[in-house]
Structure 1
């Protein structure tokens, strides 16, 4: 499969070749969640994918406990359905433990893990707490230990969800946590097959290599899982000879299928879920030399590939969306970006009285 064929297949599965009429809940499940590190920018990810998207629909999912934000793939915060929270969190346990131990392990040396987990769970289920509040409670029991390390170690051992109003559209609130079981009223699943997680990844991100699945999830040793699935999959090679796996009936559009301009949010999983990101990311993007640990740029797709960044600022009741292309754009693409950008500005800054789109020089 060539690069454009991979691009179009991935965009189709990511709901980016056209806007869809799925409910927000069904879209979130199809995508196996959205990375949601920030309280609100990920709403743009759904706006770019769904026709007539209303952010109140997702806010209701959060407040009605049908969706949650919690640490999952790559130990990062994801917005997932309640059903997926209960199913996926046990599979991600080694990922979350590994990343937490690497950073905070020394701070909890000598603390019995089971006692710490039980104390942390009890404190959060008494009332939702921020990590700072949780660390203070735990520090009283284990003086001399780093409160932040105590709280983060509980995060690794006890499945936590961030509770509203955090994440609700138009609302603000501290990041307070309680256990997933207390919030959702159900136990976590211990029987969700990793094979199903892999096939769902392929449905949302494929075709893909084993390394791609591992990059997305953070899990290791998935080659043996894919090998068990091989009789149910079809295989390809990419332009570099890497073996790609896919579901037989998954869409693989013609490489010349038109791809509309799309605005992505700063942690869009389209950009984070493959070991080889060249199916979307261009050399022009890499030449920008964005700081690896700095602010994550918000990117624009033109013809399906990264072609610009965008920012939004509101001043004097005017919302201005600024597009910075990596190279000069044809007039037709600029017109399409201006139209889509104006709609995004109106969505993201609904209280502004005026919305406009500007372009900086490439």
Structure 2
């Protein structure tokens, strides 16, 4: 029988494993930073109706420029953004891929500060870029001087800054982003996938777009809008950047159904953000109560908490799983990453953690 090793795949792909996390049916799933709340029934009904209106024309290709959706994202983001400054794709990963396809490629480099989102090096590899990981400080923070120094030293073509950072939850100050935008000769992208969960939502790189034409800010509907299963990501940037992304997108890459679902969901942004507020409360509850148990959760502006002070993460992971609670071992020594869930899920998690710590 033919195996993967027998196929003429690219040499740099040999020995790799696909990106992914366990998808297990357990009572409490807190491992992949999904929104713990289902889409509200009224919102789901509106989405279904919007999709139904689009279906009779499904024999035609969808709006290639997704103008209505871009206008919806511009209105949602605010900050004076116009539709021509918006791009979107099938999840923020596709949007990041478009950026690297347009501004990266063989002979070019992508720099980011680790630990960070594990898809970045994979996306770089996919387009033949060189990956340049620069370690963060011990507490996972970044300073303007550190960022500026790394960019000057490595002279990357593209810089990715994840804020709040995954998997640590660490926010990046606007002064850090300004330092990166001033030092870089190429593209600086700020990945704000978890921005709606920040303690201060006003601290967004969107406020800097007018000053830096090579600054991009990406977002996703997966987290705040509970749309992980629909796959919609987007970014805001200078209109010229959007023109560049058009050069690499596949034809009609956003289906009519995807566009309809996202347009309808945006009409309910206030209701969806109220669910976000509940998740922020549970995140802070996890930080407070695990601290009281003697563990070391890191400050988080995301919908998850990186918990330090765990002697044996693999054993703790399995012990939680045996209790029906799925979390994530991201490979950082002495840590587990835990997504904020509903109040009931948080209660179950905290009870399990108390039992594991003997309290």
Q: TM-score, normalization: structure 2? A: 0.25
Higher relative contact order (CA 8 A, sep 6+): 2
**TM-score where L is the length of structure 1:** 0.25
